[in-house]
Amino acid sequence: MTRPEVRIYEVGPRDGLQAEAVVVSTEAKRRFISLLADAGLREIEATSFVRPDAIPQMADADELMRDLERRPGVRYPVLVPNSRGMERALAVGADAVCVFTAASEAYAQANIRMSIDESLAAFAPVVGAARERGIWVRAYVSAAFGCPYSGEVDARQVVSVSERLLELGIDELSISDTVGVATPADLRRVLGALDAAGIDRDVTALHLHDTRGTALANLVTAMELGVRCFDASTGGTGGSPYAPGSAGNLATEDLVYLLDREGVRTGVDLDRVLAAAQFIAGELDREVSSRVGRAGGWPR
Ligand code: MG
């Protein structure tokens, strides 16, 4: 098979479902993850080892991972907030882990109840343990384009946090538009600042939200600037907790549709993504919210 030109990093089972009011059963999550692998997705963020009382939607993380069917060639990253989370991830044989901090001090305090400094200190042993075992590590830089609490975010802050994460030894940054406020000008500004700091495009992924309808415009801009990994959520799950009723994560089907029509290889099959989107919408007891999920692909 030819190598995909763009990596699609699926976040639906974790970032999507953790923000949904309905708690999906462990069995249904396994089925969803299996359908995503059927669709050709090769990186599927499966769950989160945060405290079960903090995020009840992810309380079954240990059980889910213990019995998850792992396909060859597919990576199943899990979110780990600290060393305790890392112990749980190691106990179930996680092959990839993600840590998460923010470019905004106010966002870090509100979301993870730590300062940025404290979060980096908490990740150091996690990243160290992962490195010793050859486990791939990704880091989310949340609120990189705007903060729901403090407003505009300086690109220098994104650079500073990114540099410190790379110094810890992580493999990939996911620069996140958590509130879905970015436009192409913001992409040029932030990616330009990362370039100026010498941060390699190969370690930079983008996590776009479609809250204000700008995700695909941002995506095209980012591709022109050389970004080759994008996060997306099948079914467009994960509506923004800061804008009730609004679109959240960029939907995988919207992304795959665009890239297919642009002639960009992803290795992901649109019809099968749509089948997975239908499945999870059924489990959430609602309609698929994405545009391509509603309209279907083209040509039929
Ligand atoms: Mg998200």
Q: Is the model's pTM score more than 0.95?
A: yes
State in Å: Cα 51 to ligand 1 middle.
19
State in Å: Cα 177 to ligand 1 middle.
8
State in Å: Cα 9 to ligand 1 middle.
12
Sorted by sequence, the CB contacts under 8 Å of residue 151 that are 6+ apart come out as none
State in Å: Cα 124 to ligand 1 middle.
23
State in Å: Cα 202 to ligand 1 middle.
21
State in Å: Cα 185 to ligand 1 middle.
20
Q: Which helix (H) or strand (E) holds 44?
A: strand 43-44
Looking at residue 240, what is its pLDDT? 61
Q: Which amino acid is at 137?
A: V
State in Å: Cα 19 to ligand 1 middle.
9
Looking at residue 149, what is its pLDDT? 94
State in Å: Cα 2 to ligand 1 middle.
29
State in Å: Cα 142 to ligand 1 middle.
9
Looking at residue 3, what is its pLDDT? 75
Q: Domain residues of the chain, as ranges? A: 7-295
State in Å: Cα 268 to ligand 1 middle.
20
State in Å: Cα 15 to ligand 1 middle.
5
State in Å: Cα 209 to ligand 1 middle.
6
Cis peptide before 299 (omega within 30 of 0): yes
Looking at residue 269, what is its pLDDT? 98
Architecture of the domain whose range is 7-295: Alpha-Beta Barrel (3.20)
State in Å: Cα 292 to ligand 1 middle.
19
State in Å: Cα 261 to ligand 1 middle.
24
Q: Which residues of the chain have pLDDT under 70?
A: 1-2, 240-246
User: Nearest to residue 291, comparing CAs of 253, 249, 238?
Assistant: 253
At residue 284's C-alpha, the angle toward residues 280 and 290, to 5°, is 60
d(C-alpha 124, C-alpha 83), whole Å: 9
State in Å: Cα 46 to ligand 1 middle.
14
State in Å: Cα 34 to ligand 1 middle.
21
Looking at residue 300, what is its pLDDT? 82
Query: Are the beta carbons of 176 and 143 closer than 8 angstroms?
Result: yes
Looking at residue 162, what is its pLDDT? 98
- In 3-state terms, what secondary structure has residue 81? coil
